Amino acid sequence: MANAKFVKSVNSIIEIPKGDFPELVFCGRSNVGKSSFINSILQMKNLAKVGATPGKTKFLNYFLVNEKFFIVDLPGLGYAKVSKQEREKWKKLISEYFTRTDKIQLAIHIIDSRHEPTDVDVELSKLLFKNNIPFIIVLNKIDKLSQSEFHQKRNMIKEFYSNTVENENLFFFSAVNNRGRKEIVNFLKNYFEI
């Protein structure tokens, strides 16, 4: 099990913690399962706060893992129920954060496996590309799919993101039964002491 601790919640770029640690950032649509994913990867139940309702993570949350690297839990993009002003603020914060590319070693873009990627997902992929941030795509909540739905969705996503290769930059995952966890952790070990 990793040794991880919460460091700081940040809601403006100047508050980002000092320290020369590489960053592993988790991003995706609001309520997609970013915080659950972090807890599962680190095998720590309540490290990142999980919400039954969208908009649970409101800031950039920094966790220090094994005294070696930061995990950054981002607020979800595109949450419809907060005010437009608040949504724009989150978007600005996230865009600004991504321009600080010197620290971000890898981003994990989490997408709900049940649906075709949304406009928000496409926007996020573009933002990562534009800022030259290396990222992998994780399709999560696969416990919600039957075996045949899983095959169907897997083909759909491989077509949608045609330059991806499974278990290299495209992974499938469930935080409920931890399916796919091992493959992702093995991959992350190439980058981080996890």
Ligand X SMILES: Nc1nc2c(ncn2[C@@H]2O[C@H](COP(=O)(O)OP(=O)(O)OP(=O)(O)O)[C@@H](O)[C@H]2O)c(=O)[nH]1
Residues that bind ligand X in the complex, under the rule CB under 6 A: 28, 30-36, 50-52, 54-57, 75-76, 140-141, 143-144, 174-176
What does 31 interact with, of Mg ion, ligand X, none (CB < 5 to 8 A by kind)?
Answer: ligand X
- Of 21 and 172, CB closest to ligand X: 172
Distance from C-alpha of 32 to C-alpha of 119, rounded to nearest angstrom: 14
In the bound state, the residue with its beta carbon closest to ligand X is 76
Contacts of 156 (CB under 8 A, 6+ apart): 116
What does 143 interact with, of Mg ion, ligand X, none (CB < 5 to 8 A by kind)?
Answer: ligand X
Q: What angle do CA 106, 112, 118 make, to 5 degrees?
A: 90
Distance from C-alpha of 13 to C-alpha of 10, rounded to nearest angstrom: 7
- Beta bridge partners of residue 4, listed in sequence order: 65
Q: Of 23-82, which residues contact Mg ion (CB under 5 A)? A: 34-35, 56-57
- Of 67 and 88, CB closest to ligand X: 88
**Minimal CA–CA distance to 93: which of 187, 16, 162?**
16
Nearest distance in Å: CB 30, ligand X:
4
